[in-house]
Amino acid sequence: MLKTSFFPRKLSSVPIVNARGVGPIHIKASRTKMELSITRPDDWHLHLRDGELLEAVVPHSSYHFGRAIIMPNLKPPITTTSAAVAYRQSILKALPENSDFTPLMTLYLTDTTSPSEIKLARESGVVFAVKLYPAGATTNSQDGVTDLFGKCLPVLEEMVKQNMPLLVHGEVTSPDVDVFDREKVFIDTVLSPLIQKFPQLKVVMEHITTKDAADFVESCDEGFVAATVTPQHLVLNRNSLFQGGLQPHNYCLPVLKREIHRQAIVSAVTSGSKRFFLGTDSAPHERSKKECPCGCAGIYNSPVALSVYAKVFEQAGALDKLEAFTSFNGPDFYGLPRNTSKIKLSKTPWKVPRSFSFTWGDIVPMFAGETLEWLPSPL
C-alpha cells in the first residue's frame, strides 16, 4: 500500500455546490493548503491480473476506491460466470485486512458465448458487464471476438433483455488501418452500426483517446452510451512516448494520441457531462516485461490516478465538477448506489515511488520519481 502522511492545519471552510447540485463539495483553503472532501470514488475500468501480481497491486486500488469493474483478460480469460465467481474470491482473499473494497466482475465476450451464460451472469449478482475485445486488439485479446454481427447477435439481444452493459475496447485490428486511426474507424464501422441496431443496449466505450470518441459519446442518447477516461489520456500525448528516448512505461493501448485529442477529452470530461466517468485502465506489468525488445502495453496508475484527475480538473477551473466524474456518473450509469463514505484530497506535494519492489520483480508506476500536487486519503 502506498503510505503517505501530512500534518493538517486549521483552515477556513468554503462550500462549493458540485456539478450535480446534490450537496456541497467541502473545500478548505489557506495561503498554503487546499483540501477537498468528496464521495469515495469508484474505478470503472481496472486490471488486477492474478497470482503474485494481483496480491501486489490490489492494495493500491482498495485504498483509494470503493468498487471497481474488473477486466477479464486473464490467461485463460474469464469467459463464464463460474470463472468470474472464482476470480472474485481470489481478489477478496488478496485484499488488505478490514478492506471494504468491492470487485464488480465482468465476462470476456467470445464468438461462442451463449445467451444462457448472460442469464447466469445476471442471476449471479456478482457479474455486472460483458467486455468486448476485438481479437488481437490489446493484452490477452487473442480469444476475443472475430465477427460481432455474425456470431454474437443472440448474446447482444440477451444483454438488452438483462440490462447488461457491453464494455467496448474501441479499436479495429486490421493491419491496413493506421494505429492512430483505429478508434475512429471502429466508431464508424462497428460502434455506430451496433448502437443503431441495438438502441437499448447499454454501451461503455472504454478508455477513449480521441476527439472523435468524445464527440460520438456526446451525440448518443444519455443513459445508454457512456465512456471511461484514463489519467494518461488526460495528461499525456503521443510525444510522451518518445521524449528523451523511448518511454516504455508510457506505452498503452489504445496508444496515446495527438495533443488536439487530449485537449478535446479534457474539455469533455471537465464540462460536467454525465456521460464520462473515471476508469483508470491501470494495467500492471513487471518491469522486465515493459523494458524489453517487445514491451507490454499498459500503464500502472492506481497509486497516482486520483492525484492526476484532481490536477486536470484544477487546471481546467472545474474542481466543482470533479466529484461527479469520480463518484457519481459511473454508479448512476450502472444503476448502482453511490458510495456513502468520503475521501480527502489535500493540496500536499508528495513524491511517487520510483518502483514497487517484490521478491519476483518491480512494478514501475506512472510518474515514477516525480512530485504530484494532490494527496488522496480516506476520511
- Calpha distance 148→168 (Å, rounded): 12
Of 60, 202, 207, 321, catalytic: 207
The label of the residue with cell 503474485 reads: 52
Q: Would you call 290 a catalytic residue per the annotation? A: no
Of 76, 60, 63, 80, nearest in space to 126 by CA: 80
Of 28, 42, 43, 47, catalytic: 47
Record the cell numbers describing residue 76, joined without a space. Answer: 485463460
Q: Would you call 26 a catalytic residue per the annotation? A: no
Of 169, 202, 290, 311, catalytic: 169
Of 259, 269, 261, nearest in space to 319 by CA: 269
Of 42, 143, 212, 281, catalytic: 281
Q: Would you call 281 a catalytic residue per the annotation? A: yes
Contact 168, 191 (CB under 8 A): yes
| Cα R_g (the chain), whole angstroms | 20
The neighbouring-strand residues paired with 46 are: 70, 282
Of 28, 60, 64, 131, catalytic: 131
Phi and psi at residue 369, in whole multiples of 5°?
A: 80, -5
Q: Would you call 261 a catalytic residue per the annotation? A: no
Q: Would you call 207 a catalytic residue per the annotation? A: yes
- Calpha distance 105→120 (Å, rounded): 13
SS3 (DSSP) at 125: coil
**CA end-to-end span of the chain, whole Å?**
17
Of 28, 43, 45, 143, catalytic: 45
Find all residues with CB under 8 Å of 345, minimum gap 6, and list them.
Answer: 35, 36, 37, 38, 306, 307, 310, 374, 375, 376
Residues known to be catalytic? 45, 47, 131, 169, 207, 281
